[in-house]
Amino acid sequence: MPQCSRRSLARLLPALALALSAACASEGPPSTESKSGAQPAPQPKSAGVVNVYSHRHYETDKRLFTKFEQETGISVRVVKAGADALIERLVSEGASSPADLLITADAGRLVRADAKGLLQPVQSEILEQAVPENLRHPDGHWFGLTQRARVIVYNKERVQPSELSTYAALTEPAWKGRVLVRSSANMYNQSLLASMIAHDGEAASQAWAEGVVSNMARPPKGSDRDQMKAVAAGVGDVAIVNTYYVGLLVNSKVPEERAVGEQMGVFFPDQDGRGAHVNVSGAGVTRHAPNRDNAVQLLEFLVNEDSQATFAQANYEFPVRADVPAGSLLESWGDFKADALPLSNLGMHQETAVRVFDAAGWR
């Protein structure tokens, strides 16, 4: 071996250190976000990775993913986009898709993804014990993670809860020009109407849709939060919204939004009948998941008691687990009866719901 002088060695050491530093940096974990903020596609199969396509955009989810990583050593890589965009991406990627898990809001979207052959069956005693039968696919293609009830909110200064009873009662003449609700293009409304079709048939559901249209305070526009803001502003007196959005307003960092939330009373319809319509945020393992076992492990983690309590307390969503209490805000609204209709049935009536909305003039 050639001999090096101390002076030569001293000159070589800084260069060697720089080379080693660059090599180590190149072997580090890939960034989950570019400098421009764009999200790269998840990486392909790896023993320590689960690739998630998620429609949800909450800090709560990010916290839970971090905790999962710390407990398991499995890296969670997330691509966020709208539900329809993610479904179409899975279709276009086909068998080469790197996605392991699809997470989205509303069972209607999960039913749609499953109908396109994008999800696969999962058998898990943990999931089957934690998630009630009506909140999951009968063959394990998807599982509910959180619940949101679609309720009637009312302006506490202008409406007494004794005036409210059922969804159907909103079609009565007393509510002429007082009802606010978002567009029929919204999946939450489509699922609500699909549940009515499942229970009452198409004709009765069409009569309900027409009655609500005739009692609207204005043409549908905006989100559930926008409906509540309009109720607070006196545009209407009641609105059909998901409970989750009430929680967002009540706990908003914006004082004006908190003021709106505080004006809202929450009423659970149909308590003497089938109960209030409840939907879920849920997830399914993708058909071509390269890291299937990791995806199942993440699903199981998201339904454990701690994760369910986090969803309830920090994100204002009802747990799917019966043994986990709701957060303090949700409990302040009181106990309620939920419709026990299997949410997997919604897909059978989704197209009919869209047709009924169109025929009723609900835009």
Determine the 3-state secondary structure of 179 from DSSP.
Answer: strand
| Choice between 43 and 201, residue whose per-residue pLDDT is larger | 201
| Choice between 46 and 275, residue whose per-residue pLDDT is larger | 275
Q: What mean pLDDT is predicted for residues 160-180? A: 98
- Which pLDDT band, with edges at 50, 70 and 90, does 147 fall under? very high
The answer, yes or no, to whether residue 309 has pLDDT greater than 80, is yes
Q: How many CA atoms lie within 13 A of 278 on its CB side?
A: 26
Q: Which tokens sit at 310?
A: 């986090």
What is the phi-psi region of residue 220: left when phi exceeds 0, alpha when psi lies from -120 to 50, beta otherwise?
beta
Residue with tokens 């559930």: 224
349 CB burial (10 A radius; 0-12, 13-18, 19+) = buried
CA distance 64 to 69: 9
- CA 301 to chain CA centroid, nearest Å: 17
Q: What mean pLDDT is predicted for residues 180-205? A: 97
The full set of domains in the chain, from first to last, is 49-147+279-325 (3.40.190.10), 149-277+339-360 (3.40.190.10)
- Which pLDDT band, with edges at 50, 70 and 90, does 327 fall under? confident
Tell me the average pLDDT of the chain. Answer: 89
The answer, yes or no, to whether residue 4 has pLDDT greater than 50, is no
154 CB burial (10 A radius; 0-12, 13-18, 19+) = buried
CA distance 85 to 226: 24
13-53, pLDDT tens digit by residue? 344 333 333 333 333 333 333 333 345 555 444 459 999 99
Strands 318-319, 264-267: parallel, antiparallel or unpaired by DSSP? unpaired
- Terminal alpha carbon distance of the chain: 83
The neighbouring-strand residues paired with 102 are 53, 284
How many beta carbons lie within 10 A of that of residue 96, not counting itself?
Answer: 9
Considering only 8-17, 211-220, 323-332, which range has the smallest mean pLDDT?
8-17
Share of the chain above pLDDT 90, in %: 86
Residue 347 is predicted with a pLDDT of 86
Note whether 146 and 318 are within 8 A (CB): yes
CA distance 59 to 287: 27
63-100, pLDDT tens digit by residue? 999 999 999 999 999 999 999 999 999 999 999 999 99
Q: Which tokens sit at 42?
A: 């998840």
CA distance 207 to 213: 10
In sequence order, the 6+-apart residues with CB closer than 8 A to the CB of 39 are 32, 33, 78, 79, 80
Q: How does DSSP classify residue 326?
A: P
Residue 39 is predicted with a pLDDT of 54
The neighbouring-strand residues paired with 105 are 281
The answer, yes or no, to whether residue 1 has pLDDT greater than 90, is no
